[in-house]
Amino acid sequence: MEGEVVTISGGEERIAIVTGATSGIGEATVRLFAASGFRVVGCGRNAGKLSELEDELGESFAGVAGDASQEAVIESLFTTATERFGREPDIVVANAGRGLGGSVKDADLGEFREVLDINVCGALLLLQKAARRMVAMQKGRFPGKAADIVVVGSTVGRQISPFSAVYGATKFAVHSLAEGLRREIGPKGVRVSLVAPGIVVSGFQEVAGYTDDLVNTFHDRFGPLLYGEDVARAIHGIVSQPPHVHFSDVVVRPTRQDYP
C-alpha cells in the first residue's frame, strides 16, 4: 500500500561483517554501524587497532585479525558473528583491498599479483561465502527482512585512470563480480550493492605508492576530498532501506571531481 511504513528488519538488530575494518572506509563503517545499534565483526591485519575498537565500542564489536584473502580468516568472521551475537550476519561489507599506483607500462607485476589476490580473489571468496549463507537465510524471510552484501569498488573501476590503471583493472573485475552476483541472488531476496567512491583521503594513497605531489594535485583539483565517513554514510543508507528497496549502484565523488 502506498505510504505504508515498512520495518527494515522486523525489529531484529542487524549483524554485520566488515573487512578492511582498521582504517579508512572500513573503520568509518564499523563506527557508524555500531552507533546505529548494529552488531559488527570487523577484520583487518592490524590486531592492535582491532583491540582498540573492541575497547571503545564494547559489546557491539568483535575483531578478527588476519588477511581477508585467506579462507580461514573469512570463515572465522562468520563463526565469530554466530558465536558472539547469536546468529548469522545479515550484512557483509566487502571493503578490504589495497591500491597500486602506476601505468600499465610501468606496473610492478609482483605487487600487482598481491593486489589481485586481495582485491579480486579475496573479494570473490567473501562474496561466495556470504551469498550461500544469505540465500539460505532469506528463504521464508523476504520481504519481511533484509540481507545485504555491499561491495566497495572505485570510480577507477568505471573509467580508465592513467595514474592507477592496473589497480583500476582489479576494480573493473570487482564491479563485474558484484553485478553478476546481484543478478544471481537478487531474485532470492539478497541485495548486492556496489559503492564506487572517488578520491578518499586515507592511508590508501601511501600504500599505493602515490607521491606527495600527486596527492597534492588531487587536493588542488578536486578538494575538498572525501573521507571514510562520507562513504560510510552511503553504505549505511543502502542497508537501511526497506527490504524491497535496493540501491544497487552508487557513486560517491567529491563535488569537484570531474574525472575519473
DSSP string spanning 130-149?
HHHHHHHHHTTTTTTS--EE
| Catalytic positions | 167
Residue 139: φ, ψ to 5°:
-65, 120
Cell of 57: 565500542
3-state secondary structure of 151: strand
Q: Tell me the residue length of the chain.
A: 260
- For CA atoms 101, 104, 108, 109, give the dihedral sign: positive
Strand partners of residue 164: 102
Neighbours of 35 (CB within 10 A): 11
Q: In what order do the strands lie in the sheet with 39-44?
A: 61-65, 39-44, 15-19, 91-94, 148-152, 191-197, 249-252
